[in-house]
Amino acid sequence: MMNLAIEVSKTSTPESVLFWILGPACVLAALGMVLAKKAVHSAILLASVMIILAIFYIAQDALFLGIVQVVVYTGAVMMLFLFILMLVGVDTSDSLTETIPFLRPIAILSALGFGGLLITLIGRATLGHPMVGLTEVNIEGNVPALSQLLFSKYVWAFEVVSALLVTAALGAMVLAHNHRLVARPTQRDLSIARFRTGSLATAAGLPNPGVYALHNAVDVPALLPDGTPSDASISAMLVARGDVLESLPFQLPAKGGDE
């Protein structure tokens, strides 16, 4: 009997291996997500945390949730995140200097305290408690068992949540709907506006990025007639990401001069 209890409360060895590899990886990825300077990196790291969690779910006999985690979270939600990131601008990288005094040390200290309290509490709550396991419940398979619960005991919550989903979809549409205050400017309007700004520097349009015999790419600044590279020829996004090449190597050697 005693032996059995121990047997049940313990997980199997392959699962231990899985946990001890993926667990630290998961925590590290989460830390990386918080520390990453660029939002895109955060998103990728979050996606990896979610996938690890999906594996954990499956390892813990929650097959349906694991699949849903991958499909809904890692698939849909994270795509949504990335999509919004692109929309808002990937170039808006966070400056990491803190504006609110003492917020960062307090936050780290309190998060440590929070985690510590939580872990000690969990330790206290589960130590000595035998683990039941889901083998018995999942005898007909995880999905039918879950659906039975969902459509009997939790059917009311299920309906309410479906209403919530519809509402959220509508709400998002309403929020995202851009009500134009003025008519969309036509090409003609833009052209007129360009000439009316006073300076005629941009009247003919901004210069194209560098196009050279050896090399042409959007990440190389164009050379102005006097030989200086023009910042205006490069997309601001590339400048923000630092993905700009030097134009110097592509310049033609100065004519005559020394020779």
Partner 1 sequence: MTSNSLVYLIALPLFGSAVLLLAGRRSDRWGHILATVLSGSAFVVGLVQFAQMLGRSNDQRAVTQKLFSWISVGTFKVDASLMLDQLSICFVLLITGVGTLIHIYSIAYMSHDLDRRRFFAYLNLFIAAMLLLVLGDSYLNLYVGWEGVGLASYLLIGFWNQKPAYATAAKKAFVANRVGDLGLSLAIMISFATMGTVSFAGVKEQAGHASTGALTAIGIMLLIAATGKSAQFPLQAWLGDAMAGPTPVSALIHAATMVTAGVYLITRSNFIFDAAPTAQLLVAIIGAITLLFGAIIGTAKDDIKKALAASTMSQIGYMVLGAGLGPAGYAFAIMHLLTHGFFKAGMFLGAGSVMHGMDDEVNMRRYGGLRKFMPITFATFGLGYLAIIGVPPFAGFYSKDKIIEVAFNAGGIKGITLGGAALLGAAITAFYMTRVVILTFAGSKRWDDKAHPHESPALMWLPMVLLAVGSVTSGIIFTHGNSLQNWLAPVVATSPAHEGELLKPAVVSILALVLVLAGVGLAIMKYLRKPVPSEAPTDVSIFTRIARRDLLQDDFNEAVFMRPGQKLTEVLVATDELLVDGAVRGVAHITQSTGRTLGMTQTGFVRSYAMWILLGAIGLLATIWVVTL
Partner 2 sequence: MNAANYLYVSALLFSIGAIGVVVRRNAIVVFMCIELMLNASNLAFVTFARINGNLDGQVIAFFTMVVAACEVVVGLAIIVTIYRSRRSASVDDASLLKR
If phi over 0 gives left and psi between -120 and 50 gives alpha, with beta otherwise, what is residue 12?
Answer: beta
Q: Which does 124 bind (CB under 5 to 8 A by kind): partner 1, partner 2, none?
A: partner 1
CA distances from 122 to 16, 31, 180, 205 (A): 19, 22, 53, 64
The Cβ of residue 178 has, within 10 Å, a number of other Cβ atoms equal to 6
**Whose Cβ is closer to partner 1: residue 111's or residue 237's?**
111
**Whose Cβ is closer to partner 2: residue 113's or residue 227's?**
113
Is the CB of residue 230 less than 8 Å from the CB of residue 221? yes
**Whose Cβ is closer to partner 1: residue 103's or residue 237's?**
103
Least distance from C-beta 118 to partner 2, angstroms? 4
Q: Could you list the residues that contact partner 1 (CB under 8 A)?
A: 99-100, 103, 106-107, 110-111, 113-114, 117-118, 120-121, 124
Q: Which candidate, 30, 51, 38, places its Cα nearest to that of 96?
A: 38
Q: Which does 214 bind (CB under 5 to 8 A by kind): partner 2, partner 1, none?
A: none
d(CA 227, CA 50): 51
d(CA 31, CA 60): 24
Least distance from C-beta 29 to partner 2, angstroms? 10
Least distance from C-beta 124 to partner 1, angstroms? 7
Least distance from C-beta 130 to partner 1, angstroms? 20
**Whose Cβ is closer to partner 1: residue 71's or residue 112's?**
112
Q: Which does 139 bind (CB under 5 to 8 A by kind): partner 1, partner 2, none?
A: none
Q: 6: part of which helix (H) or strand (E)? A: helix 2-9
Q: Which does 48 bind (CB under 5 to 8 A by kind): partner 1, partner 2, none?
A: none
Is the CB of residue 250 less than 8 Å from the CB of residue 219? no
Residue 216 per-residue DSSP state: B
Q: Which does 169 bind (CB under 5 to 8 A by kind): partner 1, partner 2, none?
A: partner 2
CA distances from 1 to 9, 130, 134, 135, 136 (A): 12, 12, 19, 18, 18
**Whose Cβ is closer to partner 2: residue 15's or residue 246's?**
15
Least distance from C-beta 119 to partner 1, angstroms? 11
**Whose Cβ is closer to partner 1: residue 114's or residue 158's?**
114
The Cβ of residue 29 has, within 10 Å, a number of other Cβ atoms equal to 19
Least distance from C-beta 138 to partner 2, angstroms? 8
**Whose Cβ is closer to partner 2: residue 119's or residue 203's?**
119
Least distance from C-beta 114 to partner 1, angstroms? 5
The one-letter code for the residue type at 234 is: I
Q: Which does 87 bind (CB under 5 to 8 A by kind): partner 1, partner 2, none?
A: partner 2
CA distances from 207 to 98, 192, 221 (A): 38, 19, 9
d(CA 113, CA 59): 30
